[in-house]
């Protein structure tokens, strides 16, 4: 698929993988709707792009009213959506016995609820799009448990299953639903946690995989792609 003129919605676009993907798509002529919680970060990311081809709108994607308003604005601006890429996510590591219910709900909402709500409200616009797609950015943590971040593992495992089941359902509306599951990626996701960044993927490397899925022809259904950093 040629990205030129395709309308792509990218969540979590204020930085990291989302911002890298937006830059790559813009370079190939896509029209973009970018969203994240921070309008300031969105404006900084969008400032590098052609303003006539970008809608940058902050939203709390765990709030259904704000998601509904977001996609209403996308519809008014572009009239359709060809692809939705759900990048937004959050991890709060720590022992389960010391984890608050609020933190549990925050991780679940950021990784699962956002993808659900954006998918729900994108469907109407996707059915008007050409070879419509939804791509969810999951994580190897949803496939391989680790003791550091059990909340994140749980949420991403749920996102993997949501992707698979929704793909079966959305096929009736000719919408393809896929997931990519990167290993650790060098973005602001880690905060001030100590980590060897030489053993992480770059946001650009993850973007290569996303572009592979987004450019797959309409007769190709990509299920799930797992990415791991390679080092001797």
**The Cα angle at residue 227 between residues 225 and 229, in degrees rounded to 5:** 175
- Cβ atoms 217, 176 nearer than 8 A: no
Residue whose pair of structure tokens reads 């450019």 in the numeric block = 215
Radius of gyration of the chain measured on its C-alpha atoms: 17
64-86 burial, b at 16+ Cβ within 10 Å, e below that, comes to eeebeebbeebbeebebbbbbbb
SS3 151: helix
Q: How many Å apart are CA 37 and CA 70, to the nearest integer?
A: 12
Joined together, the tokens standing for residue 168 give: 């079966």
Residue of 152, 162, 166, 189 with catalytic role: 152
Q: How many Å apart are CA 133 and CA 175, to the nearest integer?
A: 5
Regarding beta strands 54-56 and 31-35, do their DSSP bridges make them parallel or antiparallel, or are they unpaired? parallel
Q: How many Å apart are CA 95 and CA 229, to the nearest integer?
A: 26
Q: How many Å apart are CA 163 and CA 204, to the nearest integer?
A: 23
H or E element in which residue 191 lies: none
Q: Is 152 a catalytic residue?
A: yes
Active site residues: 152
């Amino acid at each position: 698929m040629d990205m030129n003129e395709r309308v792509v919605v990218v969540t979590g676009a204020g930085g990291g993988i989302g911002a890298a993907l937006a830059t790559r798509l813009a370079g190939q002529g896509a029209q973009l709707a970018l969203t994240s919680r921070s309008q300031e970060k969105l404006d900084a990311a969008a400032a590098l792009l052609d303003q006539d081809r970008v809608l940058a709108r902050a939203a709390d994607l765990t709030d259904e009213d704000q998601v509904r308003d977001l996609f209403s604005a996308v519809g008014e601006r572009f009239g359709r959506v060809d692809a939705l890429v759900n990048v937004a996510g959050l991890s709060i590591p720590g022992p389960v016995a010391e984890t608050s219910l609020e933190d549990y709900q925050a991780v679940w909402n950021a990784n699962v609820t956002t993808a659900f709500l954006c998918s729900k409200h994108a469907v109407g616009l996707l059915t008007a799009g050409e070879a419509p797609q939804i791509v969810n950015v999951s994580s190897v943590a949803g496939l391989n448990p680790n003791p550091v971040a059990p909340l994140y593992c749980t949420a991403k495992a749920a996102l993997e299953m949501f992707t698979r089941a929704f793909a079966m359902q959305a096929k009736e509306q000719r919408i393809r639903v896929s997931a990519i599951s990167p290993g650790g990626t060098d973005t602001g996701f880690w905060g001030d946690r100590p980590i060897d960044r030489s053993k992480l993927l770059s946001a650009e490397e993850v973007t290569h995989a996303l572009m592979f899925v987004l450019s797959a022809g309409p007769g190709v259904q990509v299920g799930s792609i797992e990415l791991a950093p390679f080092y001797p």
